[in-house]
Structure 1
Amino acid sequence: MKKILLFICIAFTVYTTTAQNGPRERMKAFKVAYITEKLNLSSKEAQQFWPIYNRHEETLENLKRKERRIIKSLKESNNGPDGLSDAKAGEFLKQYLQVDQQKSKARQKLITDLQEVMPNKKILRLIKAESDFNKRILDRIRERRKMN
Structure 2
Amino acid sequence: MLSPVFPGEYIKMISIQFMAHADAALRPLGLTCAQSDVLLYLNARGDQETTVQDIGQHFRLKHPTVIGFLRRLEDKGFVTTAVSERDRRCRTIRLTDKFSEVQRVMNDIRLYLDAQASRGFSEAEMAQLEEYLSRVYRNISES
TM-score when scaled to structure 1? 0.40
Bigger helix share: 1
TM-score when scaled to structure 2? 0.41
- Point out which structure has higher relative CO (alpha carbons under 8 A, 6+ apart): 1
